[in-house]
Amino acid sequence: MIGRLNHVAIAVPDLEAASEQYRTALGASVGAPQDEPDHGVTVVFIELPNTKIELLYPLGEESPIQGFLDKNPSGGIHHVCYEVEDILAARDHLVQSGARVLGTGEPKTGAHGKPVLFLHPKDFNGCLVELEQV
């Protein structure tokens, strides 16, 4: 059901410093910051030959990323994102398998302009999983 790894998301306490580190220390292609108000984050995508890294920074006081950074002040891996061909079919299969979909269970538009869903980390070995329809 899942396809390729779309990205690994890392929550960071300083978006500008993290972007610069990837740009200068690692020589990566770093995109511009992009606000995603529906998700409460500002994101920066780093393009790699085989996938992407998504840097996450809180957007607003109610950002779920702020809670993560409160517990992990240095930042850290927040989630992994896998591609799926049909997000509704994937959701229905996962729910039947006992997985919990976060939020309303309905897809939202993600940073790439495509439908996304998040799966409860307790159902996936402590890892928050994002599904993105391709």
The yes-or-no answer on residue 62 being catalytic is no
Of the candidates 37, 44, 39, 35, the residue with the CA atom closest to the CA atom of residue 16: 44
Residue type, 29: S
Of all helices (H) and strands (E), which one includes residue 82?
strand 76-84
Q: Classify residue 127 as left (phi > 0), alpha (psi -120 to 50) or beta.
A: beta
**Per annotation, catalytic residue among 54, 83, 130, 132:** 130
Kindly list the catalytic residues: 130
